[in-house]
Homo-oligomer: A and B are copies of this chain.
Amino acid sequence: MTDVFDALADPNRRYVLEALSQRETATATELAAEMPVTRQAVAKHLAALNEAGLVASRREGRETRYELTPGPLASAMDWMAGVGAQWDTRLARLHHHLSDGSQRRGGGARLRE
């Protein structure tokens, strides 16, 4: 959980994720070619993403190709939705309590008003 959000906190890492969501696979050097940092920096980012379970690496000959594994994103979204839902129901309950009945509408996890 912490690893996932920490991985998403860096713009370069988010760029890598976006890039990998469009290509099927990519190598560190390929990604570094279109980014303002070194190959080793990208390799470190890919290691962090791998640690968070967001990418999977697979060596093919002399190059290592990375692919996106967006599973952990779902867990992160679940946590966020949970917080939002708690807040939402509490707010609904407050409204209900203030202006009597018939205020209860829509139910859960409406994050944007």
Contacts and interface: CB of A to CB of B under 8 A. Distances in A.
A86 interface: yes
Given A74-B112, A77-B111, A111-B77, A90 B2 contact: no
**Chain copies in the assembly?**
2
Interface residues of A, number: 34
A92 B17 CA distance: 18
A23 to B, nearest CB: 9
B84 A73 contact: yes
Given A20-B87, A73-B84, 19 more contacts: A5-B8, A8-B76, A8-B80, A18-B83, A18-B86, A21-B84, A21-B87, A24-B90, A68-B83, A68-B87, A70-B83, A70-B87, A71-B112, A71-B113, A73-B80, A73-B83, A74-B84, A77-B80, A77-B81
